[in-house]
Amino acid sequence: METKSREKLNNYDSDTRILSEVDHLYRRRKYDGSYDSRDLSEIHENLVTAVKEAAVPFAVSTTHQEYRDGSFYWLDQSPVDVAMSGYKFHEHQSAINRVDVEVEEAIDVGINLKPGKFKVFISPRMTDSDAPYDVAKKEHLADDDQIRIHSLDLDESGAINGKYMQSMLIRDIPHSAWRDLLNDPNNIFNKSLNIEDDNSALSIMKTHAELEIDEEDLPGGVLDIARATLPYMDEESRQKVQAQLDLFDCDQEEIHKQAENIAARWLDFEIELTQSLSDGIASESVTNFIGSLSGSWSDEMNSLIKNNTTFDGSLNMNRQLALELEKAKRNTLWVSAAVSAGNQDVIDKIGQKSADRILSNEDNINNLMNSQNTSADQINNMSNQTNNLIASHNISIGSGCGGSVRGSFSPSEKLELFRNKRENWQWSQGICIISACDNKGQIVLVGPCSICVNCQSKFDSEGN
């Protein structure tokens, strides 16, 4: 894998990770701009997992890959294709080495997954032996251990329909606990793995081919693998890990339902962003998202918007602008998901008063989404309130494959409910970017991000 690793390293693109779902949608679009319902369903499932990993540290995720033509598939990609995409997401050779193992694991699972058996993969955070902490942090490999298990999905006749993958993220398990667990001949796998490098997380990952266990011996799935480390750690570490495991005893079905709702809104935005990139012009929905946060964008973001505004008020869409909009959307949705699930770390960052407001808005949004008489404007208006409140706190959020994101919002020590006072704004002559503007294409007074006075008033009323 070494030659391929160097090859992929040269193709590293820092925005690929953030825009990965947009790129998947772009690749799967039909000529008329529509999508196959199965493709949308599989991308939505991927986004559900991303929401859980980013916002709900006590969530377990389960995904499904269909079996066809002798392999398992997500969209048009086999597990090996998915694993190899990791080369695009990493820059440092220590992270590339882990992708090599991910590819090997995908090949092994495809060949050796058996009925009634779980194939287990343990991917601990990087140790100092693997890479310095600042490198691990940049590569999104510094804080979380990931555990995942694969099992076959069989029909009544025993034919393969596909496979399930269950996964979780957890923190604070000492590297020594993983090492001692796997080296113990009396461990959960009933054999010693003889780790080749006692100090390296990469060595733990390389044991994947030997980590097979009967399904009946792992009734708790990935949680049982995490629990198996408890006897191999000191009391202080054990208490930290046990406290996390206790949180996993929450209602996982309710967490999944909440994540599905957030992922549905996220998918709608990804589709709009994909269409905007395809057209080269921001769609009405995308410009409305920009307008709804007009008092919250940073000076740099306002300049980026103005620099991409055309003479007729259209907004040119390129990957740089799409990247910043995607970060903002992720940030607002992930904070909403975290608050809805009771993520105390995030609630502490924004304060209980703001959390209560967000939770109330999310309940209203979910009720609106479940109502047949709801218009998109009603949902958007409620979302605008939440988005501006979240932007006012300007916190970073995220974990897992998606990494951590902070929106391009204006730094503020004040927790104003909606936006800065209008008298502090600088209004100038320009073209409004809002598609439905009554003065579209005319020179009017516009605010910091090219929204005219009249349209701004509408967004203000929606956001309050």
Mean pLDDT of the chain: 89
Percentage above 70 pLDDT, the chain: 91
CA neighbor of 154 nearest in space, from 164, 144, 140: 164
Distance of CA 381 to the CA centre of its chain: 24
CA neighbor of 43 nearest in space, from 71, 18, 20, 21: 21
**Tokens at 110, concatenated:** 């495809």
- In the chain, DSSP finds a helix count (H) and a strand count (E) of 18, 10
Q: Per residue in 9-48, pLDDT tens?
A: 334 455 678 899 999 999 999 999 899 999 999 999 999 9
Contact 26, 278 (CB under 8 A): yes
In DSSP notation, 300-365 reads: HHHHHHHHTB-TTS-BB--HHHHHHHHHHHHHHHHHHHHHHHT-HHHHHHH-HHHHHHHHHHHHHH
| pLDDT for residue 463 | 55
Q: Could you tell me the end-to-end alpha-carbon distance of the chain, in angstroms, rounded to an integer?
A: 55
Q: Per residue in 355-371, pLDDT tens?
A: 999 999 888 888 877 77
| pLDDT for residue 303 | 93
| pLDDT for residue 423 | 59
| pLDDT for residue 383 | 81
Contact 163, 150 (CB under 8 A): yes
Contact 55, 8 (CB under 8 A): no
| pLDDT for residue 335 | 96
CA neighbor of 173 nearest in space, from 204, 195, 196, 197: 204
Q: 123 vs 8, 113, 266, 362, 418, CA distance in Å? A: 21, 19, 28, 34, 42
Q: Using 50, 70 and 90 to split pLDDT, how confident is the model at 78?
A: very high
pLDDT at 7 over 50: no
| pLDDT for residue 261 | 92
| pLDDT for residue 242 | 97
| pLDDT for residue 447 | 84
| pLDDT for residue 407 | 86
| pLDDT for residue 412 | 58
pTM, full prediction: 0.88
Task: Compute φ and ψ for 157, nearest 5 degrees.
Answer: -90, -5
Q: What is the mean pLDDT of residues 277-302?
A: 91
| pLDDT for residue 192 | 95
Q: Per residue in 314-331, pLDDT tens?
A: 999 999 999 999 999 999
Radius of gyration of the chain (CA): 24
In DSSP notation, 162-177 reads: EEEEEEEEE----HHH
Q: Per residue in 178-221, pLDDT tens?
A: 999 999 999 999 999 989 899 999 999 999 999 999 999 999 99
CA neighbor of 188 nearest in space, from 227, 237, 156: 227
| pLDDT for residue 5 | 41
Percentages of the chain per state (helix, strand, coil), in multiples of 5: 55, 15, 35
Q: Per residue in 100-115, pLDDT tens?
A: 999 999 999 999 999 9
Distance of CA 354 to the CA centre of its chain: 23
Contact 274, 369 (CB under 8 A): no
pLDDT at 58 over 80: yes
Q: 5 vs 135, 197, 228, 426, CA distance in Å? A: 18, 21, 33, 50
Q: Per residue in 348-357, pLDDT tens?
A: 999 999 999 9
| pLDDT for residue 127 | 96
CA dist., res. 213 & res. 236, Å (int):
29
| pLDDT for residue 14 | 56
CA neighbor of 51 nearest in space, from 265, 204, 353: 265
pLDDT at 420 over 60: no
Strands 145-154 and 117-123: antiparallel
pLDDT at 417 over 50: no
Which tops the pLDDT comparison, 452 or 172? 172
